[in-house]
Chains A and B, each alone.
Chain A
Amino acid sequence: MCISTFVNRFFAVFIVCCYSLLSSVNVLAAELDESVSFESIIPKLVTKSYQEKEIIISELSALEDVRILPVYKEMLEGKLYYAKKTNKIVFIREVSDGLAITDVVSNEDLGVVGKRELKKVKVNNKLRGMLRGEIAKLSIKSKDSMVRQAAVIELIRDLDVESIGLLRSALQVEKDEDVRELIHTALAVDDVKSDDREIRMSAVMVLKDSLYPEAKQALKKLLEKDDSGEYIEKDYKIRRAAQGALKTIESRVKVNAFAETVFFGLSLGSVLLLSAIGLAITFGVMGVINMAHGEMMMLGAYTTYIIQSLLPAYIDYSLFISIPAAFIVAGLFGIAIERGIIRFLYGRPLETLLATFGVSLILQQLVRTTISAQNVTVSTPEWMSGSLQLNPILSITYNRLYIIVFSLMVFFALLYVLKKTILGLQVRAVSQNRAMAKAMGVRSDWVDALTFGLGSGVAGIAGVALSQLTNVGPNLGQAYIIDSFMVVVFGGVGNIWGTLVGAMSLGVVNKFLEPWSGAVLAKIFVLVFIILFIQKRPRGLFPQKGRAAEH
């Protein structure tokens, strides 16, 4: 194995040498009469050959000029251009009537030009890798500790003598604890190859506390055997230490994977909570089966879509308009359904189920004919994209995080409405004893309409959240209706807290089942589980107690 890599390397070096020889002929020719400087090298980037560009980059990197870093960054992103006429390398900036260009060498403003007058300095994958490494080497001296951290992470991936030296000197001046630790890890990854036993041993100790995949790989290398079956690492103690370290790392990885699954489960649970919570009101509190509940969510999602297309310039803020708008749209639809249909069917739950199913078919088809049968695209605002990196192997995406927070906000707002407001009091009164509530002067039909409107409005809000997570199409509601019913029934009908617990536990269970059974089978298992669960406890996890519960 060793020999073959050696041959490979030798061959690669040989090829690179040949190339450099060939291409350096003209470079050398040009270099004869001028000294090597930023000003002299930059214009050469006009070349089309990637090999030449590689040489240019290595020459530039040797210069230690502060102007290099921005050039590399722009080049990596494919934003470095040169003017066709003058062959000057330029930075670009988009303005309303074209591209404003600035000379890279002189930093002189060259005015606004059209895109056709420029040509891109192209890069290939090899160049990109090279640029990333060089950028990391340069930015390790940055003042911003985050930038330094990112630079070290980049360097760990591909350590060589030069970058090790760089890291060692960086460690001398580094004050930030996190970055220091990271540099220690990077150095340890290199130190395990050292000839000195002591250094190897301490490197293993350092790597034990690191979660970077490179650390794990370096430790694994220590335990490998060579072709003759002999351990590469001769020292038994170090091997044992490495084994222990690997075990520690593995258990920490497991803890992190567990945390990640819980997080995914909670985010799925909060989606379930959002979609079920409106149902918990209409079904749980009022006892009305609303099969059009999913379509209320769909209306909310489409409201988001329409508001985004009305305000294309304010994508970042349009969600804050969408939430109340979706509440109102879905709420009004809900009130219309209650007044128009459900009112006539109180006391006949099976008929209510059928009639609202008819409503759901009509609403779906309405969206298909008026907007489109295809899915529409709802864009995600800037502040919801990206993720929070907790440690090298655990990151949390912001949109999931916000959904969890948002669903809890909706939940508690609803709890407040039901428990602390006049409307909530009347809703509970009517649901517990309609005749008595009427006798006390509660306008029960008015309360019915408002309750149904509230439940539907909350479903609309859920639709806004869903529009950020899944495809928005006419079938959006269908996908969630059965799940929502399951959550409400599982948690206990008429119990809002039960809905919270039910949603979260179903979400987490689903995500734990997924890795070993696949997403579809996990869903089936959960459905079967609930069917069996209802047999055992027909009134859910937290049944309503008292006379009102016995119908």
Chain B
Amino acid sequence: MILNKYGLNILNNDRGGNIFLSLLLALMIMVPIASLLMPENSSFHMATYMVTLLGKYLSFALLAIALDLVWGYCGILSLGHGAFFALGGYAMGMYLMRQIGDRGVYGNAELPDFMVFLNWQELPWYWLGFDMFWFAMLMVILVPGLLALVFGWLAFRSRVTGVYLSIITQALTFALMLAFFRNEMGFGGNNGLTDFKDILGFDLQSNNTRVALFLISALMLALGYLASRYIINSKLGRVVIAIRDAEDRARFIGYRVESFKLWVFVFSAVLAGIAGALYVPQVGIINPGEFSPLNSIELVVWVAVGGRGTLYGAVAGAFIVNYAKTYFTGVIPELWLFALGALFIVVTIFLPKGIVGLIAQYKTKNEKGVQHEPA
């Protein structure tokens, strides 16, 4: 019971996680079959847009895991995780942009369209190397990781905690948004990077590529989940949880709190970057809007709705809130912000542990009932 309360249940018996992993596996088998093997007129056939939508949700779920790791287990409420997601996305977008080659509107083999439009003569140095897939993938990991390292090192070292940290992370993503909106930055300004053609030679519009991207997203999500679970289950994870619950005590015992926090923060940022890199080829665009503080804070709500500190709760939250968003913006767009706002309030006041907490509460009630009967 006590273990359960502090979110340590994951150590012994991650039932929720196992359910989630089996569901994910089922999806990985069903979706390709439904999309590729079923004939188009069959009622079991899955349209390409559905595959892409699911793939998008999967990348969001990975992002939610990244946030849950720092917020749910380390107590760092980052309001700027969208920035790491977007940076990963931009790194992927830059690779896809270089892949367009001379098929752009201006037909310049070397420069992307927006640079030709701005009358630039040559590729800026930070675009070099992005024509190679491995380099771009390295950057997907390195850029968000390095930013998190520098930022986290500065912040944790001077013991910026709680709401202060939340606000400066928000300022960070806000500053990045302003910067990426500038045309002079060389990242496409307002319009961002788009009009991608293919990835590793595979056509991005084709059904097969979409299904492959979906499978990769699902695989990465499963790997991300397992890695996060491994970390939480390790000794390091226990220290991190101790830091969340009593930072000073952990420090007095002799742990270097800053290093632990920093390590988790950087790992989380890398996960977020990978999520961004999975997201971009599926939606086909990345623009500075991804840096907006609202995006990062919406992400916090996914985790809060699902239930923080459980990993699989974050995944559930990401799916539920995003499905609701897709539904509302399609049917009654005016209501979406009302619903989102209400969600923030209801979850924080009535559901501090999210949906997962609600289910757990319901289950313990039942178990008690069972125990009482024979006596």
Contact = CB atoms under 8 A, between A and B. Distances in A.
A311 B78 CA distance: 46
B321 to A, nearest CB: 13
A532 B172 CA distance: 11
A361 B297 CA distance: 11
B74 to A, nearest CB: 13
Given A365-B338, A527-B171, A532 B163 contact: no
Contacts of B154: 531-532, 535
A351 B345 CA distance: 9
Given A358-B343, A531-B168, A482 B293 contact: yes
Given A360-B341, A362-B342, A365-B337, 4 more contacts: A349-B162, A361-B338, A362-B338, A530-B171
Interface centre among B293, B334, B344 (most CB of A within 10 A): B344
A345 B334 contact: no
A534 interface: yes
A388 interface: no
B337 A357 contact: no
Interface stretch (A200-208, A392-400, A459-467, A518-526): A518-526
Interface string B75-102: 0010000000000000000000000000
A100 interface: no
Given A362-B337, A528-B175, A535-B157, A350 B163 contact: yes
A528 B170 CA distance: 12
B164 interface: yes
Interface band, chain A: 35 or more
Contacts of A345: 348-349
A486 interface: yes
B334 A365 contact: yes
A357 B340 CA distance: 10
Most interface-central of B151, B159, B163 (chain A CB within 10 A): B163
Given A354-B304, A357-B297, A535 B158 contact: yes
Contact of B163 (A353, A355, A486): A353
B182 interface: yes
Nearest to B176: A524
Interface size class of B (residues with CB under 8 A): 35 or more
A522 to B, nearest CB: 10
B349 A355 contact: yes
A93 B185 CA distance: 57
Interface string B131-172: 000000000000000000001001101111011101110111
Q: Is the interface of A mostly helix, strand, loop or mixed?
A: helix
Given A341-B349, A350-B166, A520 B338 contact: no
B300 interface: yes
A381 interface: no
A368 interface: yes
A524 B175 contact: yes
Contact of A534 (B160, B162, B338): B160
A425 B193 CA distance: 56
Nearest to A365: B337
Contacts of B162: 349-350
Nearest to B157: A535
B175 A358 contact: no
A534 B349 contact: no
Most chain A CB inside 10 Å of its own CB: which residue of B168, B343, B345: B345
A530 B169 CA distance: 12
Contact of B171 (A368, A520, A531): A531
16 contacts: A354-B344, A355-B349, A357-B297, A358-B348, A359-B344, A362-B337, A523-B175, A524-B175, A524-B178, A527-B171, A527-B178, A531-B168, A531-B171, A531-B175, A532-B154, A538-B158
Interface in B304-355: 304, 334, 337-338, 340-345, 347-349, 352
A169 interface: no
Interface string A524-549: 10011011101110100000000000
Contact of A351 (B164, B172, B342, B348): B348
Nearest to A344: B349
Contacts of A358: 340-345, 348
A528 B175 CA distance: 8
B181 interface: yes
A351, A521, A531, most chain B CB atoms within 10 A: A531
A279 to B, nearest CB: 11
B266 interface: no
Contacts of A538: 158-160, 164
Interface in A257-284: none
Contacts of A357: 297, 341, 344
B31 interface: no
Given A345-B349, A355-B344, A489 B167 contact: yes
Contacts of A359: 341, 344-345
B220 interface: no
